[in-house]
Each structure stands twice: as structure tokens, then as C-alpha cells.
């Protein structure tokens, strides 16, 4: 089987500016990366400099990068039980999507939210309302709903919950899904035992064409734990063999894959190299994936 070009990267800091993120990505062998559009634990968004953003766009084009996967702030909760929190989430989402248009054609990853005791039905209704308000059919950014581990009152703990959100959004062509391997494992989907079966289920419930990116994370906890504790690749319960199979799976191997493991920059460089080597080693021996390509 021919090797599939891997689009690999990790979360990078915006502290040095946008072009600096691209230069850092190149230095660690990445061909995509993720970044927070604003303070991940707060509400502030750093002012953008047009020349800096243009510099990054040129670097991405010159070096054949895949799509970037920006990440919304953790403090955004479209289905909070507090009106002030929902108002902030709506304003931050609109502002982030406007800013993303300076980097056209990329992805914006969003935790759907936590219903904080209101129940998943009300949580889904509020999330749908927020997305319907924010999404503009003229935008170039695709919003990705992230699969969640089911910790606390998280919405998005199953493929069915994500499908219900997508079904309620008018401009649903602007929505996709980012599958987090730790989250779905902790949520009860056995990505270690049979990743193709997980993709089959995703395809049945949501549609594989909605899968636009992956977060590659091992897990500190067993399948179905609903705890969301990331581990380095090959050092957790999912294990190295599973990731060796994932990176050569023809149904996902061309998608941007973002590492969110507990690492520093050198650790990410090692994991990117590890995954590329696993793909090379596995490409000659793996059987083609089942189902739709």
C-alpha cells in the first residue's frame, strides 16, 4: 500500500506572532498546526497585524502546509445556564470567525459546550442557536465540532449528539467534526481494538465526509472512563500499535492531525517524527481500510 502524505502538527503559541508559528512548525517537521484564537482560559484576543498574518499565509503556501486547525477558547460555552456566559460565547465566536477570514480556508475547532445541569436537549438547542447566529454562508472557515469524552455535562459525548447539532444548523455545509482519539476512547469508542469500526459508526451516524481533522492523543484512562486525561503517543491505554494503524488508514490519513499530548516543543518534534516513521513502516504491510475511502 502506498504511503499517504501525513499532515501533522501540534498546538503552538501565538506569543511571537503568526509568521513565527509557521517558522516554529517548520522547525519541528510539522505541516499543519493548531493555535488558540484568544486566551484559552480567558476572554482576551490579541490584536492581529496584517503584515504578520500575510507573512504566515505566504509561508504556508511556499511550504505546502495543510489546513490549520485554530481552537476556540475553553471559556466559551454556547449552552451555559448563565445569560452573560452565553452572550460572551456568541460575541467571541463571531469575532473569532471574522478574524479567521484573514487566514481563509482553514478550520476553527470548537468544544460544543457543557449544559451544566440543563440537560443535553437544552444544551443542543442552545448550541444550535449560537451556531445559527454566527455562521455566514459567505465565510471561508469551516467550524469543527470536537468529539468530547463525556466528562461532567459535556455535550458532544456521542456521535449522535454531534449529529443532532449539525442537523439543526441552517448553514450546515460550514460544519465538520474533529475526532479526538483520547476523547472518543474515554467516551467508549474502541479506537484501539478496531478503529475502522469506529469510523463505520461515525459514517453511519454523521457521515464520514464531515470528518475534517483529528486530534491525536493517547489516554491515561481505560475506554469508557469519561475522564479526558491526555497522554503521550504510545504511553497510554490506546497504545502505539493503534496509532500506527490510524496514521496509515486511508479514510483519515490525509486529514490534518494535531497532537495535544503533554509535551514541550522538542517532545512534539519527537512525536511527529515517530508518527511519520510509523507510517513508513506500516505502509508496506497494512491492509487497506474497510469501507469508504
Instruction: Based on the residue annotation, tell me whether 41 is a catalytic residue of this protein.
Output: yes
User: What span, in angstroms and rounded, lies between the C-alpha atoms of 18 and 55?
Assistant: 8
Cα angle at 95 between 20 and 217, to 5 degrees?
55
Active-site annotation holder among 161, 237, 260, 271? 260
**DSSP string for residues in 181-228:** HHHHHHTT--TTT-HHHHHHHHHHHT-GGGEEEEEE-EESS-TT----
Give start and end residues of each alpha helix (H) in 65-168. 83-100, 120-134, 159-168
Active-site annotation holder among 183, 192, 210, 251? 183
Active-site annotation holder among 210, 215, 232, 251? 215
Active-site annotation holder among 71, 115, 192, 212? 71
Active-site annotation holder among 96, 154, 186, 228? 228
Instruction: Based on the residue annotation, tell me whether 270 is a catalytic residue of this protein.
Output: no
Grid cell 510509523 is found at 278
- Pairing of the two strands 175-180 and 230-231: unpaired
Active-site annotation holder among 19, 57, 99, 146? 146
Active-site annotation holder among 49, 51, 62, 74? 74
Instruction: Based on the residue annotation, tell me whether 11 is a catalytic residue of this protein.
Output: no
Instruction: Based on the residue annotation, tell me whether 87 is a catalytic residue of this protein.
Output: no
Instruction: Based on the residue annotation, tell me whether 276 is a catalytic residue of this protein.
Output: no
- Burial profile 67-104: b = 16 or more Cβ within 10 angstroms, e = fewer: bbbbbbbebbbbbbbeeebbebbbebbeebbebbeebe
User: What span, in angstroms and rounded, lies between the C-alpha atoms of 88 and 64?
Assistant: 36
CA 5 to chain centroid: 19
Active-site annotation holder among 96, 161, 180, 186? 180
**In 3D, which of 219, 278, 222 has the Cα closest to residue 248?**
278
Instruction: Based on the residue annotation, tell me whether 111 is a catalytic residue of this protein.
Output: yes
Instruction: Based on the residue annotation, tell me whether 180 is a catalytic residue of this protein.
Output: yes
Instruction: Based on the residue annotation, tell me whether 18 is a catalytic residue of this protein.
Output: no
Grid cell 455566514 is found at 136
Residues marked active site are found at 41, 71, 74, 111, 146, 180, 183, 215, 228, 230, 260
Amino acid at each position: 500500500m502506498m504511503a499517504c502524505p501525513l499532515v501533522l502538527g501540534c498546538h503552538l503559541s501565538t506569543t511571537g506572532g503568526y509568521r513565527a508559528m509557521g517558522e516554529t512548525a517548520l522547525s519541528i517537521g510539522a505541516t499543519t498546526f493548531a493555535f488558540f484564537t484568544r486566551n484559552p482560559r480567558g476572554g482576551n484576543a490579541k490584536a492581529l497585524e496584517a503584515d504578520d498574518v500575510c507573512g504566515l499565509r505566504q509561508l504556508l503556501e511556499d511550504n505546502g502546509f495543510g489546513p490549520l486547525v485554530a481552537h476556540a477558547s475553553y471559556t466559551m460555552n454556547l449552552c451555559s445556564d448563565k445569560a452573560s456566559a452565553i452572550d460572551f460565547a456568541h460575541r467571541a465566536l463571531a469575532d473569532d470567525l471574522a478574524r479567521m477570514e484573514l487566514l481563509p480556508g482553514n478550520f476553527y475547532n470548537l468544544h460544543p459546550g457543557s449544559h451544566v445541569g440543563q440537560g443535553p436537549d437544552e444544551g443542543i438547542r442552545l448550541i444550535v442557536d449560537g451556531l445559527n447566529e454566527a455562521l455566514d454562508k459567505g465565510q471561508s472557515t469551516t467550524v469543527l465540532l470536537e468529539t468530547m469524552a463525556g466528562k461532567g455535562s459535556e455535550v458532544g459525548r456521542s456521535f449522535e449528539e454531534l449529529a443532532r447539532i449539525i442537523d439543526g444548523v441552517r448553514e450546515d455545509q460550514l460544519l465538520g467534526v474533529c475526532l479526538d482519539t483520547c476523547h472518543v476512547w474515554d467516551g467508549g469508542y474502541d479506537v484501539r481494538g478496531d478503529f475502522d469500526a469506529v469510523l463505520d459508526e461515525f459514517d453511519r451516524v454523521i457521515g464520514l465526509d464531515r470528518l475534517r481533522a483529528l486530534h491525536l492523543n493517547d489516554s491515561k484512562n481505560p475506554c469508557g472512563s469519561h475522564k479526558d486525561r491526555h497522554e503521550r503517543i504510545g504511553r497510554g491505554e490506546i497504545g502505539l500499535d493503534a496509532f500506527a494503524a490510524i496514521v496509515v488508514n486511508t479514510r483519515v490519513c490525509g486529514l490534518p492531525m494535531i497532537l495535544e499530548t503533554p509535551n514541550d516543543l522538542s517532545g512534539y518534534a519527537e512525536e511527529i517524527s515517530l508518527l511519520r516513521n510509523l507510517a513508513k513502516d506500516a505502509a508496506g504491510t497494512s491492509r487497506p481500510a474497510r469501507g469508504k475511502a
